Structure 1
Amino acid sequence: MPEVIDTAQEDGRQNAQRSDFGLRLRNSMDKYGPLCVGIDPHRALLTDWGYQVDAEGAEMFAMRMLQAANGRAAAVKFQMSMFERYGSKGFAALERLLYVARQMGIITIVDCLHGGLTTTISAIADAYFKPGAPLRADAITLLPYYGARSLKNLINDALDNGRGVFVASLTSNEEGRSLQSAIRQGGEYAGKTVAYGIAATAQKHNVGIDGMGSVGLIVGATVGQWIDQTGIDPAQFTGPILSPGYGWQGAEAEDLTTLFKGTHGNVLVTVSRSIASHGPDISALSEATEAIALDVRQAIMQAEEETTKEQQ
Structure 2
Amino acid sequence: MTPSTAVGSFAERCRLLTAGRGPVWLGVAPSSRWLTEWELPDTVPGARRYCEITLEAATGLLTGLKVQTPFFLRFGTAGLDLLAWYARAAGEAGLLVLADAKIGDADDTMRAHADLYLGPGSVVGADAVTAHAFLGLGSLGPLFTYAAGTGTGVLVLVRTSNHAATEVQGAPHAGGGTVAQALAEGLTRLIEAAGWERAGPVGALVGARPPESHDLVGRLPYGVLELPGLGRPGRTVAEVVGPALARTEPLLLPVTTGALRHGPGVARLRASLARWQEDVRTAFPPSQQNVDTGINDFRDDPVKRPA
TM exceeding 0.5? yes
Q: Measured at CA, do residues 210 and 31 of structure 1 come closer, stay the same or move farther in structure 2, by a change above 3 Å?
A: farther
Structure 1 CA distance for aligned equivalents of residues 222 and 84 of structure 2: 31
From 123, 131, 148, the equivalent of 1:159 is 148
Partner of 1:193: 178
Q: Measured at CA, do residues 174 and 20 of structure 1 come closer, stay the same or move farther in structure 2, by a change above 3 Å?
A: same
- Aligned partners of 2:160 and 2:205 also within 8 Å: yes
Q: Measured at CA, do residues 72 and 61 of structure 1 come closer, stay the same or move farther in structure 2, by a change above 3 Å?
A: same
Partner of 2:226: 242
Q: Is residue 168 of structure 1 aligned with residue 154 of structure 2?
A: no
From 245, 253, 258, the equivalent of 1:274 is 258
**What secondary structure does 1:109 align onto?**
strand
- Aligned partners of 2:11 and 2:250 also within 8 Å: no
- Aligned partners of 2:148 and 2:200 also within 8 Å: no
Deviation at 1:226, TM superposition (A): 3.4
Partner of 2:78: 89
Letter in 2 for 1:200: E
Partner of 1:28: 17
- Aligned partners of 1:114 and 1:143 also within 8 Å: yes
Letter in 2 for 1:164: G
Deviation at 1:223, TM superposition (A): 1.7
From 216, 221, 224, the equivalent of 2:210 is 224
**What secondary structure does 1:218 align onto?**
strand
Instruction: After superposition, give the CA deviation of every residue in 1:222-245 in whole Å (9 maximum; x if it has no partner).
Output: 5224346xx524475221111112
Identical aligned residues as a percent = 28
Structure 2 CA distance for aligned equivalents of residues 66 and 35 of structure 1: 14
Letter in 1 for 2:203: G
From 133, 137, 159, the equivalent of 1:144 is 133
Deviation at 1:17, TM superposition (A): 9.0
- Aligned partners of 1:263 and 1:303 also within 8 Å: no
Give aligned pairs, total. Answer: 283
Letter in 1 for 2:64: A
Structure 1 alignment gaps of length 5 or more: 1-15, 306-312
From 180, 183, 190, the equivalent of 2:172 is 183
Structure 2 CA distance for aligned equivalents of residues 142 and 302 of structure 1: 34
Deviation at 1:138, TM superposition (A): 0.2
Letter in 2 for 1:286: R
| TM-score normalised per structure 1 | 0.83
**What secondary structure does 2:26 align onto?**
strand
Instruction: After superposition, give the CA deviation of every residue in 1:137-191 in whole Å (9 maximum; x if it has no partner).
Output: 1000001100111101111111111100100001111221232122221xxxx12
Structure 2 CA distance for aligned equivalents of residues 22 and 269 of structure 1: 14
Instruction: After superposition, give the CA deviation of every residue in 1:86-122 in whole Å (9 maximum; x if it has no partner).
Output: 1111111111101101111211000000001112222
Partner of 1:47: 36
Letter in 2 for 1:224: P
Q: Measured at CA, do residues 123 and 236 of structure 1 come closer, stay the same or move farther in structure 2, by a change above 3 Å?
A: closer
Q: Is residue 128 of structure 1 aligned with residue 117 of structure 2?
A: yes
Letter in 1 for 2:168: L
Deviation at 1:271, TM superposition (A): 0.2
Letter in 2 for 1:202: L
Letter in 2 for 1:179: V
Q: Is residue 203 of structure 1 aligned with residue 192 of structure 2?
A: no
**What secondary structure does 1:82 align onto?**
helix
Structure 1 CA distance for aligned equivalents of residues 99 and 45 of structure 2: 19
Structure 2 CA distance for aligned equivalents of residues 126 and 294 of structure 1: 37
Deviation at 1:69, TM superposition (A): 1.1
Deviation at 1:209, TM superposition (A): 4.4
Deviation at 1:129, TM superposition (A): 2.4
Structure 1 CA distance for aligned equivalents of residues 170 and 280 of structure 2: 27
Larger Rg: 1
Q: Measured at CA, do residues 69 and 128 of structure 1 come closer, stay the same or move farther in structure 2, by a change above 3 Å?
A: same
Partner of 1:116: 105
Q: Measured at CA, do residues 257 and 119 of structure 1 come closer, stay the same or move farther in structure 2, by a change above 3 Å?
A: closer
- Aligned partners of 1:129 and 1:138 also within 8 Å: yes
- Aligned partners of 2:24 and 2:254 also within 8 Å: yes
Partner of 2:305: none
Mean alpha-carbon deviation: is it higher for 86-95 or for 242-251? 242-251
